Structure 1
Amino acid sequence: MDYKKGLYVFFFSIFMALAAQAKVMEFKVSKQIRKNSSYKEVCEAMGFADNLLIEAKGMVALDCMGRLVKVNDFCAKHTQNGKSFLRGFIDKGEKKVVCQYGNSANLSLSCETKQTRKYCESPENSCKKLQAFFAKDLEVTHHSRLFNNEKETLNCYFGKLNLDLDKDLFEGNSHLTK
């Protein structure tokens, strides 16, 4: 039962990522680092050596001779210069795995199609769901739904919430926290 549930969640995640990806208007990353790795490098780094055949399974997984490797698992293990892991995906044209890291990210999603309109009904919940696909190690710091020239857009902003900084701001200002 757990295997079936895990498989369902995996394929649902792929479906959601592809559906959302189709209507992304803009995805900006501050202080971005992109690391490209060959399929072979990814399989070997995940403990599967001597693979004669490696295939991309969608945009987020590799088949290393019958053993499934999630690209995000690989990317999360290989952080870059203290940057937060955002997402991993497969570039089928280049036959590379792309790991994307950065300090913060902004995502704009069109709400103009039947597929994406549902995302705009609840910006907060939608940004939290999209965060799992576009900004894994960051948090939703702001969300909005904008109307511009009769076009509706969902905007999600992802970053690190620095609780130590917040504490420092209010230390000595106890009247602000009462």
Structure 2
Amino acid sequence: MARRLLPVGLDFVETAPLRLVFAREVSASPDAVYRALAEDVAGWPQWFSAVTLARPLDGGARREIRLKGGTRFLETIVAAEPGAVYAYRVDQTNTPGIRALLEEWRIVAVPGGTRVQWTFAADGVAPFRAGLKVGRAGLGRAFRDAVRTLDRRLTSAPRAES
């Protein structure tokens, strides 16, 4: 059965009771990273190994996400600024214990590429929060692996002729 979560806004990324922040620099351009995150939603399973299905809904205003292990999310996009930020909140999930969840991807140009920062902002019952704290290292590893794979994918893609 789907559980409805609180309809938090982008400010939740700063006010959430639990915030996990991960960052990594990549060679790909900010625009390429943004396009992979926000415009090629269906391509997420090709670079983020935990994702088994990613499907845009309602013209890209929402997403359906499925993860390995059976976790499902219905999400609403709360920020989409090309080359800068892509964020979404979870509206429904089959995971118990969550009250609110918002993920923000910040994209910042740096010399030689892009700094990608992923903030996982959450609220839930005490066992859920404790589980996230314990699972922080695994989430960090998943993020690093995903961004490394994404960077390889973006920097090895054939470039269009000018």
TM-score (norm 2): 0.27
| Higher RCO (C-alpha under 8 Å, 6+ residues apart) | 2
TM-score (norm 1): 0.25
| Structure (1 or 2) with the larger CA radius of gyration | 1
Larger strand share, 1 or 2: 2
